[in-house]
Amino acid sequence: MSSIIQLLPDHVANQIAAGEVVQRPASVVKELLENAVDAKATDIKLIVKDAGKSLVQVVDNGIGMNVTDARLCFERHATSKIRHAEDLFSIHTKGFRGEALASIAAIAHVEMKTRQAEDELGTHIIIEGSKFIAQDPAVVPKGTSFAIKNLFFNIPARRNFLKSEHIEFRHVMDEFQRVALAHPGIHFTLIHNGSETFNLPISNQRQRIVNLFAGKTNEKLVPVQETTEIVSVQGFIGKPEFAKKNKGEQFFFVNDRYIRSSYLHHAVLSAYEGLLKEGMQPSYFIYLDVPPHTIDINIHPTKTEIKFDDEQALYAILRAAVKHSLGQFNVAPVLDFERDPNLDTPYEYQHKEAAYPTIQVDQHYNPFADDSTPVRSTSTQQSVRQQRFTPAPSSASWESLYVGLKQDTEAMYVPESAHERATPSLFNDQEPEAAVTKTYQLQRKYIVSPIKSGLMFIHQNRAHQRILYEQFLTQITVQQAASQQLLFPLSLSFTPVEMHLLVELEPALQAVGFQFERWETEGVVVSGIPVNTTAQAIPSVFETVLHAFQEGFTDSFSPNDTLAKAMARSLSIKKGVVLSEKEQEMIVNGLFACKDPNVSPQQKPTFITMSVDEIDKKFSL
């Protein structure tokens, strides 16, 4: 009987490994940037075309490689970082498994140029699908240049699973930002489709954050600093008033390596307890320095998850450090032990009641009296002074105001029987139309409307979302939306990542009703907004729209559909809003005028009905 188990060919094994290491172009960006950092480069340039689908090139001025290392680096598990198994617990570099370049070379066309400073000539290597096409000496600058072309050219199924260009480029910028934030001492440049997106000079941590996220980032940051035997914490956190709905500006770095940790994220959120609105997320850029032997970073293929030896102590230290910074910089309420005691209330006056001012009224004063009216005698003035603190109002002066009022009130009184005669009978054959169509608001969340078979409960937020969604989608399609001009144009600030997305959404935003006076490097100036929209709601609208696209909501639909859903979600009536009867009727009529009134844009029910039989069953229990 022949053997069943056999060794896989190298090119097949590399493609399987590539499935773990390379998921999208951003994965290639991450591996190449980390290799450039490990090569001790001080200037790293990232060049991307078509969001990395056509080209991902990383050029650095690091130490480079000789002829032997240049060929050996593409072999599986070939690395310069590990010699023994014990080295896994004292890792200070980025890449150490030696599988990244082999995996990338298995699914792309790779061109590498490298040279060491002491060599006159460098090495030029071309690989296509793990096959070495050429290796020649060449005149190249000091450092290394990797050019990855036609990613997933031999795995078309994987290439078809890639998202749209703006989503893939967002992932590329995310990886670029993470590496750039961890190494402010390196000059980074990002060029996409021939245009420079980022140019980050060598700087400190705070300036690197400001250069990456632009806008008013500098005034949002609060420094965090704490040093213990277990961990050293430093970095910056955002002020509560600048919190956003998305998690785009939340970064943890452990020994200059970006990680994800829901446990540490909860520690930061607990420090903000009572300072944030529901659903809002604070921004933070926290750098943790721990002994390498107390962590295990070899538990995830992308090395973004780390196992800590003492997570509970780390949680407590991080929470205390963030909370201390919020109080130290007067962001959160804190006990003030340096207050000025001279401003306190004296002890002898603490339990005394305040003397209320009194009002003196001269009942004998006549504003219509002429100059011939005799002045009151001194005795009368003296009596007024004596009555200053013991006023005794006279009933004769004000009771005259109500003379004859009782007779007028009795004349206006209509007997109850008269009302009954004017009101139609409850059992009249023709019931008033208002009694049938009248709606009620329940708990400021639902609209209750009687129908022929019973009652209908409408979710006011979902119903309004459906109405706005179909309106916006129609306006984007027809491109005939009305716009109202702003008296004072509205200036909005955005990060470079958000600006890149807004440029792509500009035609759809204009179709909805937005008009832009000018586009700037770090923001836009809005001169026109959609009808029935207030200027105060515009920042929230843009935040919701950007959040929807950055989080990749509804990737299977068109960008126009995503934009319509995001705007409907932002501008819809929320729960807790009191609606008048006219507004309730407008929502009911508008909902059932929609093409699909049964569900919201998120495919959730907009209304439910309760028949009379169901109500009868409730009373029969």
Q: Note the pLDDT of residue 427.
A: 41
Question: Going by C-beta distance under 8 Å and a sequence separation of 6 or more, which residues neighbour residue 599?
Answer: 466, 605, 606
With 0-12 CB in 10 A as exposed, 13-18 as middle and 19+ as buried, what is 280? middle
- Give the pLDDT means over successive 10-residue stretches in the chain (621 positions): 72 65 88 91 95 93 90 78 56 64 89 93 92 91 94 85 83 92 95 90 93 83 91 93 82 91 92 86 93 74 74 92 86 58 64 76 76 51 47 52 55 48 44 59 92 92 94 84 87 84 86 87 88 87 83 61 89 90 92 93 92 89 67
Global confidence as pTM: 0.70
Please list the helix, strand and coil fractions of the chain in percent, rounded to the nearest 5, in that order.
40, 20, 40
CA distance 394 to 363: 9
With 0-12 CB in 10 A as exposed, 13-18 as middle and 19+ as buried, what is 269? middle
Nearest alpha carbon to residue 320 among 394, 270, 263: 270
Q: Note the pLDDT of residue 308.
A: 83
CA distance 7 to 180: 41
188 neighbors 198 (Cβ within 8 angstroms): yes
Angle between helices 460-478 and 581-591 in degrees, nearest 10: 60
Q: Note the pLDDT of residue 584.
A: 92
- HEC string of 515-526 equals EEEEECCCEEEE
Angstrom CA distances, 374 to 378, 411, 423, stand at: 12, 43, 62
- Long-range contacts for 360-366 (Cβ within 8 Å, ≥24 apart)? 360/384, 360/388, 360/391, 361/391, 363/394, 363/397
- Residues paired with 533 in a beta bridge: none
Three-state DSSP at 200 gives: strand
CA distance 353 to 141: 85
Three-state DSSP at 259 gives: strand
254 neighbors 235 (Cβ within 8 angstroms): no
72 residue type, one letter: L
Three-state DSSP at 574 gives: coil
- Residues paired with 110 in a beta bridge: 127, 148
Q: Note the pLDDT of residue 316.
A: 93
Write the DSSP symbol of residue 325. Answer: H
CA distance 59 to 524: 33
CA distance 237 to 221: 6
CA distance 78 to 103: 12
Angle between helices 262-271 and 311-328 in degrees, nearest 10: 30
Q: Which two tokens stand for residue 184?
A: 């402010």
Q: Note the pLDDT of residue 249.
A: 86
Three-state DSSP at 398 gives: helix
327 residue type, one letter: G
Tokens 């306006």 sit at which residue?
A: 475
Q: Which two tokens stand for residue 175?
A: 């990886």
With 0-12 CB in 10 A as exposed, 13-18 as middle and 19+ as buried, what is 320? middle
Q: Note the pLDDT of residue 386.
A: 47
With 0-12 CB in 10 A as exposed, 13-18 as middle and 19+ as buried, what is 386? exposed
Torsion from C-alpha of 429, 434, 435, 438, nearest 10 degrees: 160
Angstrom CA distances, 424 to 419, 430, 433, 434, 581, stand at: 10, 9, 12, 13, 22
With 0-12 CB in 10 A as exposed, 13-18 as middle and 19+ as buried, what is 406? exposed
Give the start-end residues of each E strand in 426-482: 440-442, 446-451, 454-459
**Predicted confidence (pLDDT) per residue in 308-338, tens digit:** 888 899 999 999 999 999 888 766 555 555 6
Phi then psi dihedrals of residue 188, to 5 deg: -115, 145
Domains of the chain with bracketed CATH: 10-200 (3.30.565.10), 205-328 (3.30.230.10), 456-608 (3.30.1370.100)
- Residues paired with 572 in a beta bridge: none
CA distance 437 to 586: 12
CA distance 474 to 490: 26
Work out the number of other CB atoms within 10 angstroms of the CB of residue 302.
13
How do 515-519 and 483-493 pair as beta strands?
unpaired
